[in-house]
Amino acid sequence: MITLKSPREIEAMEKAGAALASMHIGIRQFIKPGISSWEVEDFARKYFKAAGAKAEQIGFEGYKYATCVSVNDEICHGFPRKKLIFKDGDLAKIDTVVSVDGFFSDSCWSYGIGNVKPEIQKLMDVTKKSLFMGIDQCVAGNRIGDIGAVIQHYTEDENGYGDVREFVGHGIQPTMHEDPMVPHYGEHGQGLRLKNGMTITVEPMINTGTWEADTSDPSGWLAKTADGGWSCQYEHTLVVTDKGPKILTSQNPEADAKYIYDDNYAKYLKHYSEIAKDVASHFE
């Protein structure tokens, strides 16, 4: 069931979004070649505890970790691993869902480890731009297909990448996965019509080669590209409003000024990012 959120609920989701965004701010402080992906998990758990946020992925359908850490040809749902040591030039995708006082947020960010090759930086730039192109379609009266259509055209037709079909965005709140499904591919004018108060995620997963995924990993979770190409992902939680789409997981309210719901967001982010930076200092 799709629920339209009240201003009170949106503000509560802002707070959760700032808590999650601050995790990414903290990670940027210490992620580098030579550390293990488990250190990301360790940091996230310690930070969430200090921030009073709940790691909602732990226990979800048997998943055991606060984060998903997927590297290079891994599209999504990679486990954080002690033996997975980041190398110079790697591309890591870090995804998580948290709640604060029962309100949810979901965001994935991609990190170039050390010095990435120009072709990988281009993949990151195109994927991130496609995220915001999709978000710009999230206005009342548009349809779900409008979001995916602009992402697919830009990533596949204009840049020759593969736009993953097997995993999509979704509604969020009162649980982490709600209707509607929000594909990052599709056709203009198709699908559910967007309404003010809808809270959804937009999360393009873009591959250097084919869009197809290999989901045969024995873990039942990890998905890789079918051809071994590299994959990138960016994701925001947002709300549809009568003033346009408002991002609830921004890491930079100044750069994202037109997408910020209200002045409270910057206050929440400042509070949580100070906690994140303090915890991250112990991982440098």
Backbone angle region of 102, left / alpha / beta, with phi > 0 → left and psi within -120 to 50 → alpha: left
Cα dihedral value 32, 213, 205, 45, nearest 10: -50
Whether 157 has a binding-site annotation, put simply, is no
Q: Which residue has the tokens 């195109």?
A: 126
Whether 95 has a binding-site annotation, put simply, is yes
Whether 56 has a binding-site annotation, put simply, is no
Residue partners of 78: CB distance under 8 A and separation at least 6? 37, 68, 69, 70, 71, 93, 221, 222
Whether 153 has a binding-site annotation, put simply, is no
Whether 106 has a binding-site annotation, put simply, is yes
Buried b (16+ CB within 10 A) or exposed e, 34-66: ebbbbbbbbbbbbbbeebebbbbbeeeeebebb
Q: Which residues are annotated as a binding site?
A: 77, 95, 106, 170, 177, 203, 235
Q: Which residues are annotated as a binding site for a divalent metal cation?
A: 95, 106, 170, 203, 235
Q: Which residues are annotated as a binding site for substrate?
A: 77, 177
